[in-house]
Amino acid sequence: MSRTREPYRIIFICTGNICRSPAAENIFREHARRAGILGEIEVDSAGTGDWHEGDDPDHRSVHALREAGYAADGTARGLRDRDFLHHDLFVCMDGSHVRDVVARGAPRERVVLMRAFDPARAHDDVPDPYYGGREGFTEMIVMLEAAVDGLVERVRGEIARKRGGA
């Protein structure tokens, strides 16, 4: 007899949810699929603000994702109160997002920076490419890819702990 398990819920956070966080969501989803854990998780993204609510990802982000071989799915939304109860891990693109997410109610131990999973990082933030050109979006993809495998391993470990009841 099998019992239904709650999925591990991860949400990626940036400012407007049209550049960095949907890119991270799509890249992470693909790497989670490759790692065989996609069926055990729910992946989402949101912005600290809701200025772009309902919008597709920025066309430059879409281009950079597709050029790198990823899907470019997403519809922008702002963080909602239920997100703080619902998600197991909040993955932020920069320090301002960490501060905002914690101030709004996420337990600090469940809030991380995306770049923390890149051992070769020069700095902790994924810079916002919105006000620049296409090259900023390409650099964003490179930064996200450098961190994603470490994040997949973290999530794999969290899933194992959840299964074990720890």
Give the domain CATH number at 48.
3.40.50.2300
Inform me whether the pLDDT recorded for 1 exceeds 80.
Answer: no
2: in domain:
no
132: in domain:
yes
In the chain, the percentage of residues whose pLDDT exceeds 70 is 96
HSE-CB at 111 with a 13 A cutoff on CA atoms is 22
| Contact indicator for 129, 11 with CB cutoff of 8 Å | no
3: in domain:
no
The pLDDT, as a whole number, for residue 2 is 43
**Lowest pLDDT segment from 38-52, 102-116, 151-165:** 151-165
The residue among 13, 6, 11, 22 whose CA lies nearest residue 44 is 11
Examine the residue annotation and report whether 83 is marked as an active-site residue of this protein. Answer: no
The residue among 113, 105, 49, 42 whose CA lies nearest residue 76 is 49
166: in domain:
no
Mean pLDDT of 98-125: 97
Examine the residue annotation and report whether 73 is marked as an active-site residue of this protein. Answer: no
- What is the residue range of 25's domain? 8-161
27: in domain:
yes
| Contact indicator for 105, 81 with CB cutoff of 8 Å | yes
In the chain, the percentage of residues whose pLDDT exceeds 90 is 93
Catalytic residue (choose from 20, 29, 60, 115)? 20
Mean pLDDT of 83-106: 97
Examine the residue annotation and report whether 19 is marked as an active-site residue of this protein. Answer: no
Catalytic residue (choose from 121, 128, 149, 154)? 128
pLDDT tier at 5, thresholds 50, 70, 90:
confident
Mean pLDDT of 40-58: 97
Mean pLDDT of 24-39: 98
Q: How many domains does the chain have?
A: 1
